[in-house]
Amino acid sequence: MRDTLSEIIEIDYHDLLEMAIQKKREGYRLSQACAAYVEGKPQLSYSFADDENYKYVTLRCKIEKDTEIISLSEVIPYASFYENEMRELFGINISLIEPDYKNKFYRIEQETPFVPADGNN
Amino acid sequence: MKKRSIVPYGPQHPVLPEPIHLDLVIEDEKIVEAIPSVGFIHRGLENLVQKRDFNQMAYVAERVCGICSFGHGFGYCEAIEDIMDIEVPDRAKYLRTIWFELSRMHSHFLWLGLLADGFGFENLFYQCWRIREKILDVLELTTGGRVIFSVNKVGGVMKDITPEMAGAILDMLASVKKELKAIAPTFTEDYAVKSRLVGVGVLTKQQAHDLGCAGPFARASGIATDMRKLGYAAYGDIDFDVITSNDGDSYARCYVRIREIFQSISIIEQAIEKLPEGELAAAVKGNPKGESFIRIEQPRGEAIYYVSANGSPHLDRMRVRTPTFANLAGLCETLKGADYADVGLLILTIDPCISCTER
Does any domain span residue A90?
A: yes
Planar angle of CA A12, A18, A19, nearest 5 degrees: 70
Q: What percent of chain A has pLDDT over 90?
A: 32
CA distance B127 to B110: 10
CA distance B350 to B214: 9
CA distance A87 to B215: 27
- With CA atoms as reference, report the closest residue to B149 among B74, B90, B54: B74
What pLDDT is attached to residue A115?
A: 66
Q: Is A76 on the interface with B (CB under 8 A)?
A: yes
Kindly indicate the confidence band of residue A1, based on its pLDDT and cuts at 50, 70 and 90: low
Q: Map out the domains of chain B with their CATH numbers.
A: 53-353 (1.10.645.10)
A37-92 tens-digit pLDDT: 887 888 899 999 998 889 999 999 999 888 888 999 889 988 988 998 888 888 88
pLDDT at A2 over 80: no
What pLDDT is attached to residue B56?
A: 84
User: What value does the mean pLDDT of chain B take?
Assistant: 90
What pLDDT is attached to residue A98?
A: 83
Does any domain span residue A118?
A: no
CA distance B359 to B343: 25
Cross-strand partners of B21: B37
Q: What percent of chain B has pLDDT over 70?
A: 99
What pLDDT is attached to residue A121?
A: 47
What pLDDT is attached to residue B102?
A: 96
Length of chain A: 121
Does any domain span residue A54?
A: yes
Query: 3-state SS string over A72-89?
Result: CCCCCCCHHHHHHHHHHH
* Residue-range definition of the domain harbouring residue A42: 6-95
What pLDDT is attached to residue B15?
A: 77
Closest alpha carbon within chain B to A115:
B47
pLDDT at A118 over 60: no
Residues of B with CB under 8 A from a CB of A: 35, 37-40, 42, 44, 47, 50, 82, 209-212, 218, 223-225, 227, 229-230, 291-295, 302, 304, 306, 308, 316-317, 319, 321, 325-326, 328-329, 358
Q: Is A92 on the interface with B (CB under 8 A)?
A: no
| Ranges A9-18, A109-118, B4-13, most confident | A9-18
Does any domain span residue A111?
A: no
Provide the 8-state DSSP code for B96.
Answer: H
Planar angle of CA B126, B214, B75, nearest 5 degrees: 85
Mark yes or no for CB contact B306/A76 under 8 Å: no
Asked if residue A64 lies in contact with residue B321, where contact means CB atoms within 8 angstroms, the answer is no
Nearest to A36 among B209, B210, B308 (CB): B308
The sign one gets for the Cα dihedral B45, B47, B48, B52 is positive
B21-80 tens-digit pLDDT: 888 999 988 999 888 887 777 777 777 777 788 888 888 888 888 788 898 999 999 999
What pLDDT is attached to residue B188?
A: 92
Between the alpha carbon of residue B65 and those of residues B73, B235, B324, the distances in Å are: 10, 23, 12
Give the count of beta carbons closer than 10 Å to the beta carbon of residue A26.
11
Question: The CATH number of the domain where A17 resides is what?
Answer: 3.30.460.80
With a cut of 70, list the residues of chain B below it in pLDDT.
1
User: What value does the mean pLDDT of chain A take?
Assistant: 85
CA distance A121 to A34: 14
The answer for residues whose C-beta is within 8 angstroms of residue B27's C-beta and 6 or more apart is B2, B3, B4
Name the 3-class secondary structure at A57: strand
Burial A29-39 (b: 16+ CB within 10 A, else e): bbbbbbbbbbe
Domain count, chain A: 1
